[in-house]
Structures are given as C-alpha cells and as structure tokens.
Structure 1
C-alpha cells in the first residue's frame, strides 16, 4: 500500500546520504526523479568470479574526493543492467545492494556502480529509492541538515 502524501518526508534536490555498512557518511547526493536506479561514483570496477558466485571489485569515489580512502570493496553482484546515461550512451552496469541512511531512515538500496567523475555529485538517488518514502521539493536542498539544526 502506498504511503499517504502527508506521511512522506520532504527532501530537497540535494541531500547528504550515509552508507553505514561502508563507514561512509555525509556524501552529497543529487535527488533525481528522472532516474529509476540510484548510482554511485566508483573507479576500478571489475567483475570477479568466486566460489560463491559473481562479485564486483571497486574503489568508492576517487582520489580527488575529500572522503576517498582507497579502500577496496568486493560485493556480490545483485544483477546487471544496461543503463542509458544522461548523454545518451548505453553501458552495462553492476548493481549492488547496501544499506543507506537518508534523513533518519535506514533503507536497502540498489546502486549501479559507475564512473561519475565528470558529474558534480558522487551519488544519484533515483525514483526506486524515493518512491513511496519521500516527496521531492526541487526548490530546496539539504533539508536533513536544516531538520537537525531545528532539533538542537
């Protein structure tokens, strides 16, 4: 059952997002209702075969990002998806699952791994994650930070 509009948290066009399982906090995310799947900026994205199945190995962010720590991740591939990027090109991407925190909500997210170094924000939050949970006010940004300040 879909949540009623009054029950949905309002978020802005930009919000900080946390990845608690990866010890990564306060990463700027662009909220994009035009994108279905959320995506995450990574580099050195390589598939690896293990006894347990298909995995993907990658580094989060890149050396130019202030929170980059050169940590290598290896996660099960949830699925693969052909994605049409904003410039019209198509690429096959690996989709992984992890927990994300947006405002006070801990959610399971599917993230496509891609090089977003040419983009302003390292994380793009798509409709699949926000649908039924949040309303987007594109005239606002960083509403979660404003909410925290109001509570203190």
Structure 2
C-alpha cells in the first residue's frame, strides 16, 4: 500500500462528531490523536461530550453521547502522565473516511484543537513539514473542477 503525502497541518472533517473544516496538526511525536472537548459528563454507562470552543474555528456547540469509551494514560513531551477518555470516531482525509482513536482533552489554550498522532498516521501517510493543507486543497480542487 502506497502512502499519501500530507503536510504538517490541514483541515479535515469529523462527520460523526458534527465537526467540519477543523484545523489539525500532525504530531509524529504523539502516539495517540487528541481532540478538544470542552465538557465531559459521565452518566451511567455513557459519556456525554460537548465539543465547543470560542477560540477554535468551526467548533460550534456539538454534543455527542458515546456508549463505548475507554481510559488511557497519555504522557506529554515533558513526561507528565494524564489519564484521559478515549473514543472511536471517523475522520476524512483526501475524501476518504478513516477510523480514528481520539483522546479527549481541553485544548482551548492550544493553537490547534486536534493533534493527529502516529497511531493514525502510520501505514497511511508520510508527513512533509514543508507542506500545509494538502488534503483540504485537494478537496477544493475536486469541487472546483468537476469531470
């Protein structure tokens, strides 16, 4: 299987989360991908997540209930370990829908609401740090040039 070349940042869709044209950063130093979640409420055996941000573009108030979720330990680059919820969802790159594992974290103080980690990138993409928005621009080209 050949790998697609992707840039260091892009804009992608998370259709199951109702989030579209979301800024993401490829983080080859991170194992797991992470998404901004402003509020997490555990009710019975479900996880109610509110994806909302006044800082991040296209993060309107979206509420999703997850019936399947896990806990995972995430170690930051400074060595700090944090226990986070992990959910499964879908993401669209280059018009193709992929399954993705996402840890939930408050990222309002970060430039990017989503980090895409190695677990997702491996065997699919090569990251060229000189490029940006490769998937997003290919989609715009597709829509502006119908064949």
1:106 aligns with 2:101: no
Corresponding position of 2:18: 23
In 1, distance between residues paired with 2:67 and 2:78?
A: 28
In 1, distance between residues paired with 2:140 and 2:100?
A: 27
1:35 aligns with 2:30: yes
Shift of 1:87: 4.2
User: Which consecutive aligned stretches of 4+ in structure 1 deviate over 6 angstroms post-superposition?
Assistant: none
1:137 aligns with 2:132: no
Instruction: Report the count of equivalent residues.
Output: 143
Please identify, of 140-149 and 107-116, the stretch whose mean Cα deviation from structure 2 is larger: 140-149
Of 56, 62, 69 in structure 1, the residue corresponding to residue 47 of structure 2 is 56
Q: Which runs of 5+ in 2 are unaligned?
A: none
Shift of 1:31: 0.4
1:14 aligns with 2:5: no
Deviation string 1:71-127 (CA, Å, 9 cap, x unpaired) is 322112431101112443221100011111112221111100001111100000001
Corresponding position of 1:125: 116
In 2, distance between residues paired with 1:138 and 1:64?
A: 25
Shift of 1:149: 4.8
- Are the equivalent residues in 2 in contact too, given 1:60–1:72 (CA < 8 A)? yes
Please identify, of 125-134 and 39-48, the stretch whose mean Cα deviation from structure 2 is larger: 39-48
Corresponding position of 2:81: 90
- Are the equivalent residues in 2 in contact too, given 1:17–1:27 (CA < 8 A)? yes
- Are the equivalent residues in 2 in contact too, given 1:63–1:70 (CA < 8 A)? no
User: Normalized against structure 2, the TM-score is what?
Assistant: 0.87
User: Normalized against structure 1, the TM-score is what?
Assistant: 0.85
- Are the equivalent residues in 2 in contact too, given 1:97–1:111 (CA < 8 A)? yes
